[in-house]
């Protein structure tokens, strides 16, 4: 499946910053039960490669699992060895995108400007992570969307929650990366599940723009 296939099924990317390996499988299970199909473990989490591996083993057949905050190309091989297939970054680094592409992995680098966006696409990025979205208002997203190739996958990440999904969706994004409004270390499984179900309901309240 492609990145667009997963986003068409559910346009929410769960960003599990701070996740520990001991809770990885249980947290992933409640997200999957809510309908989420893309799970990202940032590399500045405790033992992230262990968590990625445990989630990939448990849910890799139905979910796109991988790493976030990937800043160095050499880390991508470790993500792949752990079973991850997704590489997300807060910035655009041509070496990171190139290595992900070489390994057949899906990459979504972070961008803020059209210059960064077109450079990332030229390097072979599968999608663009508009980050942090909270300083890129929907009006700016709409303007950028108008000049990007029509098939470009655009994700809004940073400050996204159920209260502002509609505005960004109307501006033309294809999906949402959701972090602290979905998961923080110390949350109970019941709380994570409730938050996941609320986000999924909001994400599906209208069709996302393709």
149 lies in some domain: yes
Q: Is 40 a catalytic residue?
A: yes
CA gap 76, 98 in Å, rounded: 10
In tens, the pLDDT along 78-113 reads 999 999 999 999 999 999 999 999 999 999 999 999
CB contact at 8 A, 182 and 14: yes
> What range defines the domain where residue 154 resides?
3-203
**Residue 205's pLDDT is what?**
82
209 lies in some domain: no
8 lies in some domain: yes
Domains contained in the chain, number:
1
Confidence of residue 209 (pLDDT cuts 50, 70, 90): very low
208 lies in some domain: no
In tens, the pLDDT along 162-179 reads 899 999 999 999 999 999
210 lies in some domain: no
Spot the catalytic one: 40, 116, 184, 202.
40
65 lies in some domain: yes
**Six token digits for residue 63:** 């979910």
39 lies in some domain: yes
Q: Is 184 a catalytic residue?
A: no
Spot the catalytic one: 116, 129, 134, 202.
129
129 lies in some domain: yes
Mean of the per-residue pLDDT values for the chain? 96
Which helix (DSSP H) or strand (DSSP E) does residue 20 occupy? Answer: none
Task: Give the CATH number of the domain where residue 159 resides.
Answer: 3.20.20.70
From 127, 121, 141, 101, select the one nearest 7 (Cα to Cα): 127
Whether 130 shows a pLDDT value over 60: the answer reads yes
């Amino acid at each position: 499946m492609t990145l667009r296939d997963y986003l068409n099924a559910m346009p929410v990317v769960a960003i599990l910053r701070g996740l520990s390996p001991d809770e990885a499988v249980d947290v992933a299970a409640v997200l999957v039960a809510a309908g989420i199909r893309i799970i990202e473990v940032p590399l500045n989490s405790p033992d992230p490669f262990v968590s990625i591996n445990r989630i990939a083993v448990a849910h890799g057949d139905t979910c796109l699992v991988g790493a976030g905050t990937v800043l160095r190309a050499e880390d991508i091989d470790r993500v792949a060895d752990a079973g991850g297939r997704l590489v997300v970054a807060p910035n655009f680094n041509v070496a990171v995108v190139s290595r992900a592409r070489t390994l057949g992995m899906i990459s979504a680098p972070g961008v803020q400007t059209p210059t960064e966006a077109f450079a990332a696409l030229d390097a072979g990025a599968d999608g663009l992570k508009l980050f942090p979205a909270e300083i890129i208002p929907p009006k700016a997203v709409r303007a950028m969307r108008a000049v990007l190739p029509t098939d470009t996958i655009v994700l809004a990440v940073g400050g996204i929650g159920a209260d502002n999904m509609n505005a960004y969706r109307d501006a033309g994004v294809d999906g949402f990366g959701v972090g602290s409004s979905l998961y923080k270390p110390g949350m109970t499984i019941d709380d994570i599940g409730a938050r996941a179900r609320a986000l999924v309901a909001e994400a599906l309240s209208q069709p996302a723009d393709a």
